[in-house]
Amino acid sequence: MKTKITITLCLIIFTLVSCRNSDNIDIKVVDSDNVYRYTATFPRSKSRQVERFINSRIAPSSIRYDDDVDLTTILDDRTKFDYEASPGELEIELDKNENSRESYIRIKEMCQGLNQIINPKI
């Protein structure tokens, strides 16, 4: 009986530690008639690299996050998109009806570049 309890406790602890240090990568893209949405979950250690890449693509504007950010931003070229981020998580959503084709292409290409930073194996 003691052995079963010990094994169960070890499995619970292992599961909790595994979830906390997760390096799981999940990228989802929705590209419909009305919206382009990019959602990613990635190792927290890549958060700064993701932030720098995004800022290089939206310059001269910039977005900085240390904790949670949820905002709508309008770039100098009038590209308007929603940006939600926290370390290890990111969602970018662009309403195609509120933006030009060039804005859509700009954000889509930025997100395709993010794929290479978040998961270089793709």
Per-residue pLDDT of the chain (122 residues; tens, 9 = 90+): 666 555 655 455 555 444 444 579 999 999 999 999 999 999 999 999 999 999 999 999 888 777 789 999 999 999 999 999 999 999 999 999 999 999 999 999 999 999 999 998 86
Nearest to 58 by CA among 41, 80, 40: 80
Torsion angle in degrees (nearest 10) through CA of 18, 21, 23, 25: 80
Q: What are phi and psi of 42, to 5 degrees?
A: -155, 170
DSSP H stretches of helix in the chain: 2-20, 47-58, 101-118
Within the chain, how many helices (H) and strands (E) appear?
3, 5
Residues 59, 77 contacting (CB under 8 angstroms): no
* pLDDT attached to residue 18: 45
Any idea what DSSP says for residue 65?
-
What pLDDT does residue 64 have?
79
Q: How far apart are CA 62 and CA 58, in angstroms?
A: 6
What is the model's pTM? 0.79
SS3 (DSSP) at 76: coil
